[in-house]
Chain A
Amino acid sequence: MNKKQNGTAPEHIINEFDEELRNEMNEIWLLAGSTAPDVQDISPIEVENGLNALNTRLEISGDYIPAGDKIAGWIQNYSRVLVAAVALITLTTFFIFVPRTAVVPYGEMATLDLPDGSFIEMNSGSTVRYSRFYRFINRTIELNGEAFFTVADHGHPFIVKANGVSVEVTGTRFNVQSWADDPAGETIVSVEKGGVLFYPIEKRDQMVTLTAGESSRWNPQQLQPTAPETSNVEDATAWREFRFVFRNQALGSILRDLERRFNITIELEAHGVENSPLTAYYSQQVQLESVLDDICTVKGLRYTRTTTGYRIYRQVD
């Protein structure tokens, strides 16, 4: 390869140097060429030897189809297809029974369209799971988190199962909030339109019937969900418009909402305020720091930035 040994430096390199240096740099380029690795070109025989060695290795690793014998190759190909087909059928069988899962990352929201025309708006950090047979067998959705359901009326019941409790409906619009990490394990259902049945899973006889404008709560300590109470459903679904409505909500739970919405970590290093209730409204998209400002002002706390978010601590006078 004579390019390695001879010649002056290419113009685009030599032109980088001042005029008076160019001769010297050409000399450097030339002298450096003498240090080129000593290669004779790889001969065609070496290439074939290399290929043979390679094919031996591929054969050992069991992933080799001989190219030579067409019929043998065909049979081998065919047996591979058979094996693949069996594997595919087995996999598919398993696959069908594995439910579909939709996860919304922190800091984002998502809408999930279901095959029957129903759809689910999901709040940050929520997970929804449903069978691949959805619509053929039943319409059952498992929820962890918060979501607003708009259910198409097909006559068949639509059931949301969330952390120990069920909501059963036909066509309607409603919100379910049910975080597995909620300290009280509480689930709240709020109905915007139509009606729902709300009951602990497997205890349908304990059902509470909710109609539009009503909400009910349940936690694992209760036999039955609370009696329907009139509530402002708009508050419960404020998250859909990126608003926040905290009504007598525990500080710890508020901070978890903020963590999910803004995809950050908030450490609370102040004892005794975790469960202290707070009421606040933010009517539009709000900056995280202005929420933190308000919280800290009201509770006499301070906050500081950390690498992953914020730390809230008690103000020391």
Chain B
Amino acid sequence: MNHATDEQIESLAEKIKRSDKRAYDDFFRLMYPHLTGFAITYMRDKSMACDIVQDAFVILWQKRFGIDTGKSLKSYMYQMVRNRCLNELRNRSKEVVSSELAENNTISEMVIENQNNDRNSLGSLFREWINALPERQKEAFELSRFEGMDHDEIAGLMNISPKTVNNHIVAAMTQLRKYYKQYKQKNSIPDE
């Protein structure tokens, strides 16, 4: 996830627990770019991602006495940011989903119909296809693809086994290939 050594972070965690504000600042400087990038993967909005990461750091300071120095503070922060992102997305999607359902379209129908729209580049089609993946598959795939995380890191974050992470990613890519094939057939691009 980033380049600070585990020992460095461990010693920062202990200092933060003892209310060492300077260690806390160092930890912020160390983690902020990575955590923000991570949050952007979920939120796709930089200012929102920054807000969420800052919230997480406020909470870290408030709960500093409860820091478990036996566990990785880095993973703790990633997990907190992930939870806050998912909550935010869930709150938001309640509105979106209900309006989508009102139109009585299944998601895949919408996706395929949209392909006829010329203004869509292949990139934005891929974006829609990824968005149409089941939530967990999408998350595992995006963390792997955009964050460059390995299966163990994703497994720890999503609280599932590395095997399941792998299954999610394979399923996601298989589904994306299906969409892509349909798209190529419709636009009569020959399969190489």
Mark A residues whose CB is within 8 Å of B.
Answer: 1, 3-4, 10, 12-13, 16-17, 21, 24-25, 28-29, 31-37, 39, 41-42, 47, 50-51, 53-54, 57-58, 61, 63-67
Partner pick for A61 among B25, B62, B130, CB 8 A cutoff: B62
Given A25-B173, A31-B126, do A65 and B33 touch, yes or no (CB 8 Å)?
no
Q: Is the CB of A28 within 8 A of B173?
A: yes
- Nearest-neighbour CB distance to chain A for B99, whole angstroms, equals 23
Complex contacts, B36 vs chain A, CB 8 Å: 42
Chain A residues within an 8 Å CB radius of B61: 58, 63
Q: How far is the CA of A28 from the CA of B178 in the complex (A)?
A: 10
The docked-state distance in angstroms from the alpha carbon of A36 to that of B37 is 11
Chain A residue with the shortest CB-CB distance to B124: A35
> Interface 1/0s, chain B 122-165, versus A by CB < 8 A?
11101100100000000001001110101100000000000000
Is A39 in contact with B57, judged by CB distance below 8 angstroms? no
Do A28 and B177 have beta carbons less than 8 Å apart? yes
Given contacts A28-B180, A32-B130, A65-B21, contact A50 B28 (CB under 8 A): yes
Which of B37, B50, B53, B144 has a CB less than 8 Å from the CB of A13?
B144
Shortest distance from the beta carbon of A64 to any chain B beta carbon, whole Å? 8
B53 partner residues in chain A, CB cutoff 8 A = 50
Binary A-proximity of B19-43 (CB < 8 A = 1, otherwise 0): 1011001001100110011001100
Q: Determine which of A21, A25, A32, A41 lies in contact with B33 in the assembled complex, contact meaning CB atoms within 8 Å.
A: A41
Q: Which partner residue on chain B sits nearest A14 by CB separation? A: B173
Residues facing A in B37-78 (CB within 8 A) are 37, 40-41, 44, 46, 50, 53-54, 57-58, 61-62
**Interfacial residues, chain B to chain A (CB-CB below 8 A):** 19, 21-22, 25, 28-29, 32-33, 36-37, 40-41, 44, 46, 50, 53-54, 57-58, 61-62, 122-124, 126-127, 130, 141, 144-146, 148, 150-151, 166, 169-170, 173, 176-177, 180
B28 contact set on A, CB distance < 8 A: 47, 50-51, 54
8 contacting pairs across A/B (C-beta < 8 A): A10-B144, A12-B166, A16-B170, A17-B173, A33-B145, A35-B127, A39-B40, A47-B28
Q: Give 6 A-B pairs besides A39-B46, A50-B32 with Cβ atoms closer than 8 angstroms.
A: A16-B169, A17-B170, A17-B173, A28-B173, A36-B146, A63-B61
Contact A34 B170 (CB under 8 A): no
Contact A42 B33 (CB under 8 A): yes
- Min Cβ gap B8→A in Å is 17
Contact A1 B126 (CB under 8 A): no
- Report how far A268 CA is from B32 CA in the complex, Å: 61
Closest to B148 in A: A3
A10: chain B residues at CB < 8 Å are 144, 150
- Which residue of B has the minimal Cβ distance to A12? B151
- Once the chains bind, are B58 and A54 in contact (CB under 8 Å)? yes
Residues of B within 8 A of A57 (CB): 54, 58
Once the chains bind, are A37 and B44 in contact (CB under 8 Å)?
Answer: yes
B58 touches A61 (CB 8 A): yes
Residues of A within 8 A of B57 (CB): 54
| A58 partner residues in chain B, CB cutoff 8 A | 58, 61
The chain B residue with its CB closest to the CB of A13 is B169
Complex alpha-carbon distance, A75 and B135, angstroms: 52
**A3 to B147 CA separation, bound complex (whole angstroms):** 8
* Residues in B whose Cβ lies below 8 Å from that of A54: 28, 54, 57-58
